[in-house]
Amino acid sequence: FQVGADRCSITARCVSSIMLMPEQVVHFPQAPAYCRGLIHLRGQVIPLMDTRTLFGMPTLEQEYADFCAMLDARKQDHLNWVEELDRCLEEDVRFPLATDHHLCALGKWYDSFTTDNNAVMFHLHKLDEPHQRFHVAAHRFNECKKKRTGCGGDLEIRKAAKAAREENMPLILKLLEEAKEVFLSSYQAIVIVLEGEQGSLGLIVDKVHSVETVIPIDEDQSNSYFSRSSFVSGVAKSEKTNELMLTLNHQSLLDLCQGLQY
d(CA 114, CA 133): 23
Q: Which fold has domain 61-185?
A: Four Helix Bundle (Hemerythrin (Met), subunit A) (1.20.120)
Query: In angstroms, what is the C-alpha Rg of the chain?
Result: 26
* Residue 110 burial (10 A CB sphere; 0-12, 13-18, 19+): middle
Tell me if the domain spanning 2-57+188-259 has CATH number 1.10.240.10.
no
Query: What is the CB neighbour count within 10 angstroms for residue 54?
Result: 22
Please, where in the chain does CATH 2.40.50.180 lie? 2-57+188-259
pLDDT in tens, the chain (262 residues): 888 888 889 988 889 999 999 888 888 888 888 888 899 888 888 899 999 998 888 888 898 999 999 999 999 988 998 888 888 888 888 888 888 889 988 889 989 998 888 899 999 999 998 888 888 877 877 787 777 766 656 777 777 778 778 888 899 999 999 999 999 888 888 999 999 887 889 999 998 888 888 888 866 554 555 555 678 888 888 888 888 888 888 888 888 877 676 6
pTM (2 d.p.):
0.75
CA distances from 228 to 54, 56, 203, 241, 248 (A): 10, 9, 18, 23, 11
Please, where in the chain does CATH 1.20.120 lie? 61-185
Helix (H) or strand (E) holding 245: strand 244-248
Question: What backbone torsions phi and psi does residue 113 show, to the nearest 5 degrees?
Answer: -70, 130
The neighbouring-strand residues paired with 32 are none
